[in-house]
Amino acid sequence: MPGLIYFTIAIIGEVIATSFLRASAGFTQLVPTIVVVVGYGITFYFFSLALQTIPVGIGYAIWSGIGIVLVSIIAYFVYGQTLDLPALIGIGLILAGVLVINLFSQSSTH
């Protein structure tokens, strides 16, 4: 169970850090830059802990897939960024892949 908690913290940290990248304006804005650096530090620390119980390939696939979906949602609401139909289909396929891994793969830890 700790691996899943570490994994969740890593995903949340990555989503927060990535969401602040635009606000950092190329690391010229202090507060957003600090959020990015601290967020990624937290992310990689907890992801490394999670990988003690989760296979690295499966962990990375789930981590990046969930991150893409959440960052896209945040970018829509915070930055007003819209996605066209092919982008939405692609994100849907990524989400479907994450679900397939979690629901059907024997490689994933449940």
Confirm whether 37 is domain-assigned: yes
Count other Cβ atoms within 10 Å, centred on residue 33: 17
Give residue 60's domain range.
Answer: 2-104
In whole angstroms, how far apart are CA 2 and each of 5, 7, 44, 76, 97?
Answer: 5, 8, 16, 32, 24
Number of domains observed in the structure of the chain = 1
The predicted model gives 86-90 an average pLDDT of: 92
Per residue in 36-63, pLDDT tens? 999 999 999 999 999 999 888 888 888 9
Predicted pLDDT at 49? 97
Note whether 93 and 53 are within 8 A (CB): no
Percent of the chain topping pLDDT 70: 96
Confirm whether 43 is domain-assigned: yes
Confirm whether 109 is domain-assigned: no
In 3D, which of 49, 10, 17, 51 has the Cα closest to residue 34?
17
DSSP state of 108: S
Confirm whether 83 is domain-assigned: yes
Predicted pLDDT at 108? 57
Maximum CA pair distance of the chain?
A: 45
Predicted pLDDT at 13? 97
**Distance in angstroms (rounded) separating the CA atoms of residues 6 and 92:** 25
The predicted model gives 8-34 an average pLDDT of: 97
Confirm whether 14 is domain-assigned: yes
Predicted pLDDT at 52? 94
Confirm whether 36 is domain-assigned: yes
Confirm whether 110 is domain-assigned: no
Coil vs helix vs strand at 70: helix
Most confident of 25-39, 73-87, 92-106: 25-39
